[in-house]
Structure 1
């Protein structure tokens, strides 16, 4: 009986492998028949043309935005929507040119999408849905200066999968869209070109607080980066720390363009420090405990 099974195994095994090879060849041939090879070449041309078009649009927006600063926000928003339209149009054209649309290709696409969304592409699908939510809900816009998870910078692109941020150190950060559904995002200007800048100053308890406040007010109002239609406010409060008592004067002023935020802060700080030195206004003294 054992010998009989061995003989059957010797004959059946090659037949099984042969059947699998024939089925594999049939699947490859069936898949190859769905591809329109004459359209693959044109699809490559469309991909190349799309890439060149996006590069041209990006360079035009940067060039025009640098010359006409007042239209920079609008141009960046239009660029974001135009890129989305170009991606969708190019993808549809490539698909229509490269495949023969029939029942087999539709069944293949349907099965692939079902498996992908359910398993391999669940994170991508979540980012896609979150991207649509971000575009509709608009917690921030392209060009906004935002704070997200400890990162601070400008939103330069809002895509279907991710959002790109340029930090003040000129680093590009890519953030998946689904992150914005559960985290807090702080927008400093929310679509406007100007933005409030908060600069704290500290003076000693015995200094002329009224004079210090007036000097800060004057320094901020005379800065070349100030946005004068909005008010300049200087708030005063006493602060207590472990080592010293001090008076904190907080300057709140609006910079004319978010791109000049740090230059604005530096300009005001230098002016205030110079005026404090001229008028003899001293910083708080740290109380040093004597050793026993």
Structure 2
């Protein structure tokens, strides 16, 4: 009976003993961390942070003022400003850290572990893009100079690198795409290494119009364009289109432009020619059906 009573009492007291030990360990950790802080340096660090903020504001005002007066120097000044801001941030961070902490083996181990984790996360995406870049170069789903569609963007591939691919859109924007995106997304290439490319141009006319004449006019306009690539055929497909508000005949012109750089000029040239011929021959667009 005495043994059971002692066991019961120990079971009641054990949780509180363990909780006390855990609390004592946490207090020891806090005291160890507090001993690493140089409190006098913390106050000076606040002044350093404030001075850094004022310096960055002053630098930004100078760059804005000079850029407003001398527009030709705006881009170089902004690049220099970005470099100086990065340098000032790094310098201020090192100064604040050196002033606020007592450097010892624990601090060095903490810094090393933090850097290792940060570099590991950064290198993960970089390594994925590097491997994807090798895959793109070997598999070659597209080439430099190809006109491609990717994630709603349409333009020419200008550079294929180990980390990213650069595309110049028809609006003259440069888009940088990480290589690892090409492993899971669909890429549409319009010419795949060739200089010429097929261009598809739709036209719509009413049901009562002369379909054969309209087809011939479209084919003649495409064949006589200065941008046409004649070794390849010009095709006009006819299809009846039923929409919610109208019935129409859709005529799709498929022709090859001599150079991908002339795609939009080719499309504009054919459209203007066809619209002129339609007007002269009285071929009218579809009429919108009246809703009841």
- TM category (shorter chain) comes to 0.5 to 0.7
Q: Is the 8 A contact 1:116 1:122 kept in 2?
A: no
- Match of 1:260, SS state, is helix
* Contiguous gaps of at least 5 residues in structure 1: 1-12, 18-113
- Match of 2:159, SS state, is strand
Q: Which residue among 109, 115, 123 is the counterpart of 2:125? A: 123
Aligned positions, number:
183
Q: Which residue among 276, 285, 291 is the counterpart of 1:274? A: 276
Q: Which residue among 227, 230, 234 is the counterpart of 1:228? A: 230
Aligned CA-pair RMSD: 2.2
- Give per-residue Cα distances to partners, 1:101-120, cap 9 Å, x unaligned: xxxxxxxxxxxxx9777433
Shift in CA distance, 184/158, structure 1 to aligned 2, threshold 3 Å: same
TM-score when normalising by structure 1:
0.60
Which residue of structure 1 lines up, in the alignment, with residue 208 of structure 2? 206
Q: Which residue among 238, 241, 251 is the counterpart of 2:240? A: 238
Larger radius of gyration: 2
* Structure-to-structure mapping, 1:1-292, within 5 angstroms: 118-290=120-292
User: How far is 1:147 from its partner?
Assistant: 0.2
User: How far is 1:259 from its partner?
Assistant: 0.3
TM-score when normalising by structure 2:
0.60
Q: Is the 8 A contact 1:201 1:249 kept in 2?
A: yes
- Give per-residue Cα distances to partners, 1:145-192, cap 9 Å, x unaligned: 000000000000000100000000000000000000000000000000
* Contiguous gaps of at least 5 residues in structure 2: 1-31, 37-115
Q: Is the 8 A contact 1:165 1:174 kept in 2?
A: yes
How far apart in 2 are the matches of 1:187 and 1:144?
6
How far apart in 2 are the matches of 1:119 and 1:203?
58
Shift in CA distance, 129/116, structure 1 to aligned 2, threshold 3 Å: farther
How far apart in 2 are the matches of 1:188 and 1:139?
11
